């Protein structure tokens, strides 16, 4: 059995989904970094005062869980490569935290050409469309790795990577007062977005799918819906986020993991990793389902 150590798929998913909210974690613990390593013993105060980086993601999500480690071990035992169909800094940091090695191949599709009536349908459709585009390129040998393992813009021509991978694709939007928000189109729009989260809660709707490139079978998508409530966001915080620029590449300009936003968080509903764009429980569940199905074939 690929899970090993007596940890079933149901148990792994259950462990991964028992996550305390960000506001209850931040005052009392030193975060674990990727693959169970300590994040240098950094205190909460120092973390909140620091600049944004991978450590911010690991702190916000709480570090590697036992279920994350079980998923990483199952993938390693199966010898199946993982491809992430996203160049999102946060999603890459989350997979690293889980202990999963991966390569990045992006879809480069026209996301604006895909429109749906609900945010759930939209993110599911986009995750599927990204998978279709990347699978095609992996199979015909034209996929490019974009720098996740030191192979910047290198054609993924190795047969193991190109045809035997499990591909993770995702999409996320923010819903605010009934309106769907994607990535800001300008600094002015990003400024409007960020400031508004102090007035009304932001809800993230994110989808993740896993596609077996070898067989073409798709697992998921799983759609996660989470919310975050902030205190009023001061102008100096808005200015700092816009000047830094990372929020311009995030759905709705929302960065719940940013040190300047953590201190303003009143409460969250749902897992913080899902709020950040990739639910570890969901992606772990789908990877395990894909591995089990491949083993049976």
Please give the DSSP secondary-structure letter assigned to residue 32.
Answer: B
Quick one: which of 161, 143, 168 has its CA closest to 84?
A: 168
Cα Rg, the chain, nearest whole Å? 18
Active site includes 171?
Answer: yes
Return the structure tokens found at 16: 């991964």
3-state secondary structure 80-127: CCEEECCCCHHHHHHHHHHCCCCEECCCCCCHHHCCCCCHHHHHHHHH
Separation between Cα atoms, residue 208 and residue 227, nearest integer Å: 17
Catalytically annotated residue among 171, 212, 224, 273: 171
Please give the DSSP secondary-structure letter assigned to residue 263.
Answer: T
Please give the DSSP secondary-structure letter assigned to residue 173.
Answer: E
Quick one: which of 100, 93, 95 has its CA closest to 72?
A: 100
Q: Which residues are catalytic?
A: 171
């Amino acid at each position: 059995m690929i899970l090993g150590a007596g940890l079933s798929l149901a148990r792994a998913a259950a462990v991964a989904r028992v996550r305390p909210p960000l506001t209850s974690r931040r005052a009392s613990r030193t975060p674990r970094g990727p693959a169970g390593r300590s994040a240098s013993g950094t205190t909460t105060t120092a973390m909140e005062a620091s600049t944004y980086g991978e450590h911010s993601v690991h702190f916000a999500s709480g570090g590697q869980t036992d279920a994350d480690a079980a998923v990483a071990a199952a993938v390693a035992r199966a010898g199946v490569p993982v491809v992430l169909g996203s160049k999102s800094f946060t999603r890459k940091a989350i997979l690293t935290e889980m202990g999963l090695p991966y390569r990045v191949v992006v879809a480069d599709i026209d996301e604006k050409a895909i429109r749906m009536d609900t945010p759930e349908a939209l993110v599911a459709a986009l995750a599927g469309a990204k998978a279709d585009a990347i699978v095609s390129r992996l199979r015909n040998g034209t996929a490019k790795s974009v720098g996740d393992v030191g192979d910047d813009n290198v054609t993924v021509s190795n047969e193991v990577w190109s045809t035997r991978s499990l591909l993770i694709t995702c999409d996320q939007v923010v819903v605010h007062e009934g309106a769907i928000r994607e990535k800001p189109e300008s600094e002015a729009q990003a400024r409007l977005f960020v400031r508004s989260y102090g007035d009304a809660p932001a809800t993230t709707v994110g989808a993740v799918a896993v596609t077996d490139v070898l067989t073409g079978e798709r697992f998921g998508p799983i759609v996660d819906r989470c919310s975050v409530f902030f205190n009023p966001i001061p102008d100096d915080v808005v200015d700092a986020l816009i000047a830094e620029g990372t929020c311009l590449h995030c759905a709705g300009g929302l960065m719940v993991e940013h040190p300047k936003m953590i201190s303003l968080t009143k409460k969250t509903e749902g897992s913080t990793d899902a709020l950040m764009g990739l639910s570890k429980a969901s992606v772990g569940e789908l990877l395990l389902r894909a591995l089990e199905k491949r083993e049976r074939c």
